Amino acid sequence: MKESWRWYGPLDKISLSEVAQTGASGIVTALHEVPYGEVWDRETIARRKADVLAAGFEWVVVESLPIHERIKRGEGDLSALFANYRQSMANLAAEGIHTICYNFMPLLDWTRTDLAALVERGGRCLRFSAPKMAALEIFMLGRGEARQDYLPEAVAQAEKWFQSSSDDDRAELMHAVMAGLPGAYDRYDAEGLKAALKLYEGIDRPVLQNHYKRFLEEIIPTAEELGMRFCVHPDDPPRDILGLPRIVSNAEDIDWLLGAVDSPANGLTLCAGSLGANPENDVPEIARRFASRIHFAHLRNVRKDADGSFEEAAHLSGDTDMVDLVAALLVEEQRRRDAGETEWEIPFRPDHGHELLDDAGRNTHPGYPLIGRMRGLAELRGVIAGLSHSGKTAN
């Protein structure tokens, strides 16, 4: 497996010279400074690639080439947006970059309510608190209908938290929920979020699936022509939030989207943490089921609570059997090698590490500290080496 590292380019507080010391050989990055819907011009791509190469890395995956919200809403004449997207793809391919990770989550990307929850024995992590999210939906946004989306105990705790919270507490919660948009230019307060949600009125699960299918039909043929691989990132969290449908949350959803346009170019980013936050998901089994369509992997772990909350765990100590998952990916790599595939290696990156030791105060992107992710990479490297040495790559 190809060890990789997410780097936010000029926006990142971690330098490539520091990343080099982690041992990773691949960089996962994007042009986060380019507004959604605009073309990524070849010259800018080439400059970013040159920065990566000069530091001794390979740019292995684009994460991500964002999809404009109008495409997700199916709003108006989308021909220019699709044309721009295809031109960005062509420019990336011309620079030798052929794997694109993306998501189809409406309005928000990954969503957390706490960016610095305390971890046992020290450190901090990202956390999704079902009571806090319920408080935002029900009491801050006035979405009374959201009560049915949470367990009764979570709703009771939500009301208790809201009644005791200060304006600063509520602003901090809103900031945390918005933090999963590293390249977006829109950040919302409560009133702004209400207005943005109105644009999605009437868009339920079947409608959003239709819009997603149209996107795939517009883009995947071009990916095939360019020799590119697209890999969708699962929903994070894997549940509806803010009344917005999430349609890439479990094995059934993955089966649907891969069949919507059945092509090797239409693939999956296997995110162990996103899928692992759903108690019904068996992540290693999902990896085995869809192995041939996995083009990229995010390896992280979560620990779930009974009320629907979860938090980032250390890579080897959460609810997902990471050793079994890595074994499944190694089996797929071996299958690809045996079949004579030239691009048999699956790039992966350690995802959402704990903030540890000197990570504190560096103000890196939430969930993306240096030491915490390096710990995760080291642990994963050990698992891969151990399985490869023993030849035990499957149960």
Residues forming the active site: 233, 271, 298, 351-352, 368
Instruction: Characterize the bridge pairing of strands 58-63 and 310-313.
Output: unpaired
Paired strand residues for 312? 302
| Sequence-distant contacts of 385-390: CB under 8 A, at least 24 apart | 387/323, 387/326, 387/327, 387/330, 388/330
d(CA 187, CA 218): 29
Q: Residues 197, 244: contact at Cβ < 8 Å?
A: yes
Distance, C-alpha 231 to centroid of its chain: 11
Of residues 11, 21, 74, the one with CA closest to residue 370: 21
For the chain, give percent helix, strand, coil, nearest 5: 45, 15, 40
Q: Cα–Cα distance between 224 and 197 in angstroms, integer?
A: 35
- Closest by alpha carbon to 292, among 266, 317, 274? 266
Rounded-to-integer distance, Cα 11 and Cα 4, Å: 18
Q: Which pairs with CB-CB distance under 8 Å and at least 24 residues apart come from 133-137?
A: 133/158, 133/177, 133/241, 134/158, 135/159, 135/161, 135/162, 135/165, 135/173, 136/173, 136/174, 136/177, 137/241, 137/242, 137/243
297: amino acid identity, one letter? A
